[in-house]
Amino acid sequence: MSVISTGDGSPTVFSEQYGVTYHSRHGAVTESAHVFITAGLRYKAVLRRELSVLEAGFGTGLNAFMTWLEAERRNLRVHYTGLELYPIPDSALEQLQYAEQLGAAERQEDFQRLHQLDWEQSFDLSDNFRFEKKRSSIEHFQAAEQFDIIYFDAFAPQAQPELWTPEVMAAMYAALRPEGVLVTYCAQGEFKRSLRAAGFSVERLQGPPGKREMTRATK
C-alpha cells in the first residue's frame, strides 16, 4: 500500500493488490462528506437523534472519524460498527493526517485511536459515539435489523465483484431496520438491479466530484 494525495488535498491509500484507491482521487474528504455524511447520516438525523451505522468496510477510518465529529456537532448518539479484514499498516496510517484536513487538528490522536482499539469490542469514545470494529468480510456478515444506515464503501465492482452481488445486497437489506438506508458512491446498473432484487427502493443522487451519480437505497 502507498499513500497519495487527492484533488482536495486530503490523502488516501492506494492498494497495489487491487489497483484502486480507498477514496476518490478527486478528493477523499470531499467524497466521504458527500456520499456518507450528507446523503446518509444527515439524511437520517432529520428524524432520529440516535442512529446505528454499519460501515462495509472500515478501511482508512475516515468515514468513522467524520461520523464521530458530526455526531458531536449535531448532538447525535451514534453506534458505529466497522467491518474490515485487512487493516491498513501503521506506515500508511501515520501519513493520514485527516484531523487537520477537517479543521480539527487537535483530534488526530482520536483518529489514530480508531485503528488502535481492540477488535470485537465496543467502546464509548464520547457521549455521542460508541464504536466497534469487526474482523469480518463483507460477504460473510450477517445481522438482523440492527442498523439504520449502511455506508457501503467496498472497493469498486471491477476490483472486487464478489462484494456487490445479489446475495450480499440481500444480507445488507436484512441487516437494516425498516426505513434504513444504504449509501454508496457506486451507481453501476447491475449493482442497482441487485439492490432492487433484494427489496430496496433505489434513488439516483448527484455524485461527488468526478462521478455523475451515486446511490441511496431504502428498505
* 5 lies in some domain: no
* 6 lies in some domain: no
Distance, CA of 70 to CA of 128 (rounded, Å): 9
* 147 lies in some domain: yes
Say which CATH number the domain at 138 has: 3.40.50.150
Instruction: Indicate the number of domains in the chain.
Output: 1
pLDDT in tens, 61-88: 999 999 999 999 999 999 999 999 999 9
Q: What is the mean pLDDT of residues 104-126?
A: 97
Distance, CA of 163 to CA of 152 (rounded, Å): 10
* 7 lies in some domain: no
* 21 lies in some domain: no
Predicted pLDDT at 18:
87
Distance, CA of 94 to CA of 99 (rounded, Å): 12
pLDDT in tens, 18-49: 889 999 999 999 999 999 999 999 999 999 99
Whole-structure pTM value = 0.97
* 18 lies in some domain: no
* 4 lies in some domain: no
CA atoms within 13 A on the CB side of 30: 15
Predicted pLDDT at 97:
94
Q: CA 31 → CA 23, 40, 135, 186, 189, distances in Å?
A: 7, 12, 25, 12, 20
Distance, CA of 62 to CA of 96 (rounded, Å): 9
Q: What is the mean pLDDT of residues 210-214?
A: 95
Q: What is the mean pLDDT of residues 122-145?
A: 97
* 13 lies in some domain: no
Task: Using the predicted structure, report yes or no on whether residue 149 has a pLDDT greater than 90.
Answer: yes
Predicted pLDDT at 60:
97
Predicted pLDDT at 17:
85
Give residue 126's domain range: 27-218
Q: With b meaning 16 or more CB within 10 Å and e meaning fewer, what string describes 60-92?
A: bbbbbbbbbbbbbeeebebbbbbbbeebbeeeb
Predicted pLDDT at 1:
85
Given pLDDT bands bounded at 50, 70 and 90, which one contains residue 213? very high
Predicted pLDDT at 13:
96
Predicted pLDDT at 190:
96
Predicted pLDDT at 4:
95
Distance, CA of 190 to CA of 143 (rounded, Å): 24
Average pLDDT, the chain: 96
Predicted pLDDT at 132:
98
pLDDT in tens, 156-211: 999 999 999 999 999 999 999 999 999 999 999 999 999 999 999 999 999 999 99
